[in-house]
A and B are shown apart, each in its own frame.
Chain A
């Protein structure tokens, strides 16, 4: 069933004669107008999708609506998450290759296909995709597709991304492309099957499946209307041109950069069920108009849930490329023509078929980080100063709540306010944006507390920027957020967290900038929170720092890993979460003291940071800076640094002797090269 040949086919298929004729027949101005028209149609379908669906991930932007050529190449997408736009090509190409001529399946007008199998074009099981062929006079002329992350899959834990999964068998519903409907109608028996498999949140599964199909169908209808009005040649010509414009643009831009080899390394601190360092090593080679991303040297696969497949790594590279260097090019697969991606089989980024990939996007935060940093180096070498940024916070602060809500309806959903507020990376001339967004789909919106409390049986104790979370530097990484929920109107609620980086931040700073802070998991059980609220006590905490430092709430404080398998939390007890800050840029001693004061006033940094790290001397009452004293303190620190310094060779000698503790290297591979050291047996 698995077809590795199709999995590789992410760049555009060869141009057909009809595509060439269609392109040649375009009049001046038609490409500009109708390429934008196609983008607008995609956008309209996306509005249908978000309006109709239920899950909070829809609103967080973990969605795509994409338009594909007759052969399955992506030409326009609303994202959302570029991931799905890229990988859904594989689903379409698989259907074309294996089902078209199969008499038991076939592809007919009005068919609705559906899939979520990671090895057949998915990302991980929660990401479910609906696909419809668009016909004109009996021929397939295009495809429409929609994908949304479903926060429940019927896996061994609620939430769709089981932290404790050991193999793919633990991940819940896995659908290879199936024909979910015919004649524009969904088959009720298959919907019943899904409802049964995703038993923790059946209503959500049904509604969101319908939402995917409805949006897909809207795009199908609109494209057919356009063909009726302007002809199939125009639409085909414009679609092919969108692929070519992207490819030409990408090649031209790549050619303008400095040839060279650029390296970057990032680390993970968990495999889900237990903690271990994992290394992601990227060697980016740029030659002429080609780029090669080589992840050789990354840690071996593990028997936890933090693994990935190769096409998912490619899709993560696309997130960066479409967001930064190619952000003005069409969102089409044309950009992949000049790009090669090498990820050795057996590494955690390209694991074997039976490895759990339940958390493959969070795993790929290492790809996001290394690609961003390697690119920053290449941009610098090329004299480009606007594009390089420090890494965006990508902790994947996904926290799931599940159970029956206050209206008695079973639910299982992502708590999306924290997820959508990771900090932006610092820029070369200014700070990163605080609570920037969701690094996998930047445009998503976090829900309001009132929105969540309307449908979920807990209250927010606080939700605000997390002090000292943005990586320090001349320019600061954007702050992340911290949040706490107290279970209110039900006896208990299940919480689960896949947020990592409780020990080692994945994201790295640039040119002396600090990485963002790490954050442990925290719970307060047997708490007297609601009693204190009722009494109107003054010492109820308004941030995590406040909660820990002042312990205003009575109860048992449990400090644990940030990543937490599903656990039951009782009424009145408190579950704490956070999103990560972005990484910093440049030397802290170069930061304008006025900006340090502004950060203090806005509660983005602590006094300790202002004094000890930024070395700013000021009046804490009036925030008036003593400039002379500040300069002296900074000069003193510079001298101290020199006195701590060592010749480079000496430093390397000492550095090479350093080794993390053995227990941190369980899944790392051989130190320091990360070669495979053992066989993994999955059951």
Chain B
């Protein structure tokens, strides 16, 4: 074995499956294992073991050669959607106890569509993560200059702390006014909590300070970020420490990186919980853009159907660097830099039910059976019929070849569940019931695709779907055609695409700090002359970056820095994020260049008409990006072998395509035997150990030079 070959492992922990992508020199393998929600490290290690098996290696042999392990997780998102976080207390400045609940007024509009938000008689503010009765206001006040206006009343605070403890809170979030300017009171509060309630007394109760999590102006968004971190902290912390321990025991000594929603990643111990929110889907968007370059498809709907959720992201004109303009996590406004993606609760594990209250309407999701107990067919105690159960009954899934035959599916139990819970109440037979479940599920997914394309002003016909996730290729022809997108690409890596994508990402940390600096005085030609104030902030952020990145085992010499500044013309409330030409300033010329650069970027983004340097030029926030570029790989090409795909047929199976035709004997192909140029006309089923590609009637599957495939469906065809 050559020690020079590059070996990397990428993992994406989804709600149902843990996906693994191993690059082993010129080879790559993909593997999966059910997500073990009771202890995520178990599924994590199993997925790597499965990958090692495919390379004929023992896991410790693989890990010994592995240079880096990267992973993304949806645990944070699931905890939030399910509202299963800990009971927290919120400590703020007295007189401002309602900041979370006032939420700048129209908080109800955050995280919902423009159309929904027009119905003002229907909208509701979100249920707070911290109920108002668990909020206390402390007697203290810092002003806008960072000076103490009112000292912290410690005696009063201790009484309020006692009240919160009596309420049974399991953690504290501290966010006082102007704490990012002067965190003295927040820090003192943390100390008082630890003095009053040492760890042994309360156990592992986090105290999260807003000034540490996000030292930026705006108490509402800063508080939300701090709360989300505290709310998600415990689950993330437990998860990563278990995974870290397991890997160490297996002899792995290199970096363990977590994918961030910024589009970068960092060492797991230096990752805050909010940054992991949506990490997998964000990685998928970056990976999709890379794939788009190969295929010359600038517009891609990245549609990832896993066991629990359906995530979509857009690549438009080849770009992925569009950050959320008004970033919202669930329904909470946050002032964070994060890439955009959307999610609904529809997946293979989504539970189907007949809603008697709504006139016997068939509904699919958002509740999921997860991977434990999972769909009824998993035979692990699940009793609620799911989408996977329906797919099995329809003949799309092979009960003996699920996950390559490692996992038998129980068709009879699935049938019984759908028969009793869906078919009988609806008065249809079990096959029609299963087909209805698939159609409702596909319709749900098509709706969100349409919402994100047509309703955003893009023409879906100009897009292709990149179908990801284990269940994606089973349903992609269905949801894409309903969303009027004629073509779907299915990569070999589709079943583990988010994991695959993280192998294409760079290590990146983002550090932010609010500081009001005037570069140019209003109405005068007076420029900033105190360069130290500016440089000191940059240098402090750089020091943080070096500390983190060296801690991750990289040399500080490999770091590439980019400084972005939130800038504005004097008096404006809004800022424009501007890439600074240099990260430090040392001369009048540097200041002028920075102003010129801001003015240029401002004019390009908005209009030259709006430029107004006479009003002064000011900086509000510093954002330092520290990147360690990672090695990228090409996908190997193969030779053309002709259209005839018959050599890949491995058998036949009855599959159900419509109520009219019922079951049709359908060819089953082996995905691994299909070659460049092969064409498979539907109806057909193409199997691999990780997924089944469902090619309905009216559709055709073609294999390209990278051994990836595409399904083309007649738009509007009934599939």
Is A445 touching B609 in the complex (CB atoms < 8 A)? no
Q: Which of B121, B125, B218, B609 contacts A434 (CB 8 A)?
A: B125
Q: 1/0 per position for A185-227, CB-CB distance to B under 8 A?
A: 1100000000000000001101100110111011000000000
A409 touches B571 (CB 8 A): yes
> Is A443 in contact with B606, judged by CB distance below 8 angstroms?
no
Most-contacted residue by chain A among B137, B459, B576, B611 (CB, 10 A): B459
Hey, what's the 0/1 contact readout for A506-538 against B, CB within 8 Å counting as 1?
Answer: 000000000000000000000000100110101
User: How far is A446 from B103 in the complex, measured between Cα atoms in Å?
Assistant: 8
Known: A451-B217, A463-B96. A433 touches B108 (CB 8 A): yes
Contact of A186 among B109, B137, B609 (CB under 8 A): B609
State whether the Cβ of A603 lies closer than 8 Å to any Cβ in chain B. Answer: yes
Inter-chain contact A438/B570, CB cutoff 8 Å: no
**Which chain B residues lie closer than 8 Å to A450 at the CB level?**
144, 177-178, 217-219
Asked whether, in the complex, the Cβ of B122 is within 8 Å of the Cβ of A540, the reply is: no
Q: Are B119 and A328 in contact (CB-based, < 8 A)?
A: yes
Minimum distance in angstroms from B316 CB to a CB of chain A: 12
B427 adjacent to chain A (CB < 8 Å): no
* Size of the chain B interface, CB-CB below 8 angstroms: 72
B374 to chain A, nearest CB (A): 36
Is residue A139 within 8 Å, beta carbon to beta carbon, of the partner chain? Answer: no
Given contacts A420-B104, A435-B102, A538-B153, A543 and B573 within 8 Å (CB-CB): no
Point out the residue from A184, A442, A463, A481 that lies within 8 Å of B106, measured CB to CB.
A442
Whether B149 pairs with A533 at a CB distance below 8 angstroms is yes
Question: In the docked arrangement, what's the CA distance between A54 and B610, Å?
Answer: 11
Residues of chain A with a CB closer than 8 A to B118's CB:
322-323, 327-328
Q: Is the CB of A434 within 8 A of B96?
A: no
Q: A443: which of B102, B109, B143, B518 is its contact (CB, 8 Å)?
A: B109
**Chain B binding surface SS class:** loop
Residues from 434 to 448 in B contacting A, C-beta threshold 8 Å: none
A residues near B522, Cβ cutoff 8 Å: 203, 407, 409
* Contact of A543 with B95 in the complex, beta carbons under 8 Å: yes
Assess whether A53 is interfacial by the CB under 8 Å rule.
yes
A454 and B105 form a contact (CB under 8 A): no
Name the A residues within 8 Å of B139 (CB-CB). Answer: 536, 538, 540
B115 partner residues in chain A, CB cutoff 8 A: 328
Which of B106, B178, B457, B518 contacts A436 (CB under 8 A)? Answer: B106
Q: Which residue of B lies closest to A454 (CB)?
A: B144
A411 at interface, CB cutoff 8 A: yes
**Bound-state Cα–Cα, A98 to B485, Å:** 49
Contact-size category for A: 35 or more
CA distance A562 to B458 in the complex (A): 49
A444 close to chain B: CB less than 8 A: yes
CB closest chain-A residue, reference B607:
A214
Are B102's CB and A465's CB within 8 A? yes
Complex interface: stretch among A44-52, A345-353, A492-500: A44-52
User: CA A424 – CA B102 in complex, angstroms?
Assistant: 12
Q: Which of A27-61 contact B (CB under 8 A)?
A: 29, 32-34, 36-41, 43, 47-48, 50-54, 56, 58-59, 61
- Least CB distance, B455 to chain A, in whole angstroms: 5
Shortest distance from the beta carbon of A205 to any chain B beta carbon, whole Å:
11
> Contacts A459-B149, A530-B149, A601-B133 hold; do A40 and B609 have CB atoms under 8 A apart?
no
Distance A480 CA – B457 CA, assembled complex (angstroms): 37
B-side contacts of A411, CB under 8 Å: 571
Q: How far is the CA of A267 from the CA of B618 in the complex (A)?
A: 47
Asked if A251 is at the interface (CB within 8 A of a chain B CB), the reply is no
Residue of B nearest to A425 (CB): B121
Q: A56-B573, A409-B522, A536-B150 are in contact. Are A448 and B104 (CB under 8 A)?
A: yes
Q: Which residues of the other chain, A, contact B121 by a CB distance below 8 angstroms?
A: 323-324, 327, 386-389, 427
Q: Knowing A40-B456, A207-B615, A445-B106 touch, does A52 contact B573 (C-beta < 8 A)?
A: no
Are B607's CB and A36's CB within 8 A? no
How many angstroms from the CA of A388 to the CA of B137 in the assembled complex? 37
Partner of A462, one of B95, B150, B576: B95
Q: Are A454 and B516 in contact (CB under 8 A)?
A: yes
Most buried by A among B101, B118, B151: B118
Any B CB within 8 A of the CB of A437: yes
A213-B609 in contact (CB<8A): yes
Give chain B residues whose Cβ lies under 8 Å from the Cβ of A41.
457
| B311 / chain A contacts, CB cutoff of 8 Å | none
Give the residue of A322, A437, A461, A536 whose beta carbon is less than 8 angstroms from that of B95.
Answer: A461
Q: How far is the CA of A60 from the CA of B81 in the complex (A)?
A: 30
CA A351 to CA B494, docked complex, whole Å: 68
Q: How far is the CB of B299 from chain A (nearest CB, A)?
A: 14
Decide: B141 and A451 in contact? CB cutoff 8 A.
no
- Contacts of A434-491 to chain B: CB distance below 8 A: 434-438, 442-451, 453-455, 459-465, 481, 488
Contact A327 B120 (CB under 8 A): yes
CA distance A529 to B609 in the complex (A): 45
A597-633 contacts to B (CB < 8 Å): 601-603
| A207 touching B571 in the complex, CB below 8 Å, given contacts A323-B118, A533-B141, A536-B150 | yes
Q: In the bound complex, do residue A453 and residue B144 qualify as a contact, i.e. CB atoms below 8 Å apart?
A: yes
Cβ-based interface call for B407 (8 A): no
Task: Quote the shortest CB–CB distance from A522 to chain B (angstroms).
Answer: 16
Q: Is B572 a contact partner of A207 (Cβ separation < 8 A)?
A: yes
Using known A-B contacts A40-B456, A450-B219, A459-B149, determine if residue A53 contacts B572 with beta carbons closer than 8 Å.
yes
Alpha-carbon distance between A115 and B104 when the two chains are bound, in angstroms: 31
Q: Answer whether residue A542 sits at the interface, using C-beta atoms and an 8 A cutoff.
A: yes
A54:B105 contact, CB within 8 angstroms: no
Any chain B CB within 8 A of the CB of A421?
A: yes
CA distance A450 to B179 in the complex (A): 10
> In the bound complex, what is the Cα–Cα distance between A206 and B613 (angstroms)?
12
Known: A454-B144, A464-B95. A442 touches B150 (CB 8 A): no
User: Is B196 located at the chain interface by the 8 A CB criterion?
Assistant: no
Q: Is the CB of A462 within 8 A of B96?
A: yes
Which residues from chain A contact B101 at a C-beta distance below 8 Å?
434-435, 465, 602
Q: Does B554 contact A (CB under 8 A)?
A: no
Asked if B132 lies at the interface with its beta carbon under 8 angstroms from chain A, I say: yes
Min distance, Cβ A334 to any Cβ of chain B, angstroms: 16
> How far apart are the CA atoms of A123 and B570 in the complex, in Å?
29
Instruction: Look across to chain B and name the residue whose beta carbon is closest to the beta carbon of A372.
Output: B121
Task: Output the nearest chain B residue to A389 by Cβ-Cβ distance.
Answer: B121
Assembled-state Cα–Cα distance A125/B469 (Å)? 57
Known: A324-B121, A459-B141, A543-B95. A211 touches B610 (CB 8 A): yes
B67 CB → nearest A CB, Å: 43
Give every chain A residue within 8 A of B607 (Cβ-Cβ). 48, 52, 213-215, 217-218
Bound-state CA distance A442–B112 (Å) is 14
- Interface flags for B85-123 (1: CB within 8 Å of A; 0: not) read 000000000111111011111101100001101111111
A324 to chain B, nearest CB (A): 5
**Does B592 belong to the interface (CB within 8 Å)?**
no
Nearest A residue to B574, CB-CB: A51
Residue with the greatest number of chain B CB neighbours at <10 A, chosen from A37, A203, A392:
A203
State A323–B149 Cα separation when bound (angstroms): 43
Decide if B606 touches A51 in the complex (CB within 8 Å): yes
In chain B, residues 419-464, which have Cβ atoms closer than 8 Å to a Cβ of chain A?
Answer: 454-459
| Residues B225-257 near A (CB distance < 8 A) | none
The residues of B that contact A39 with a CB separation of less than 8 Å are 114, 457
What is the bound-complex CA distance between A488 and B141, given in angstroms? 13
Cβ of B572: which chain A residues have Cβ within 8 Å of it? 52-54, 207
Q: Name the distance in Å between A219's Cβ and chain B's nearest Cβ.
A: 11
Q: Is the CB of B220 within 8 A of A455?
A: no
CB of A335, distance to nearest CB on chain B (Å):
13
Taken together as a complex, chains A and B put the C-alpha atoms of A388 and B121 apart, in Å, by 8
* B105 with A435: CB separation less than 8 A: yes
Whether B105 pairs with A203 at a CB distance below 8 angstroms is no
> Contact at B105–A421, with CB atoms within 8 Å?
yes
9 interchain pairs (CB within 8 A)? A39-B114, A52-B574, A52-B610, A211-B610, A409-B571, A436-B105, A448-B104, A459-B143, A481-B102
Q: Given contacts A407-B518, A448-B217, could you give 9 more A-B pairs where the C-beta distance is less than 8 Å?
A: A36-B456, A41-B457, A328-B119, A434-B102, A435-B103, A451-B217, A451-B218, A460-B95, A465-B98
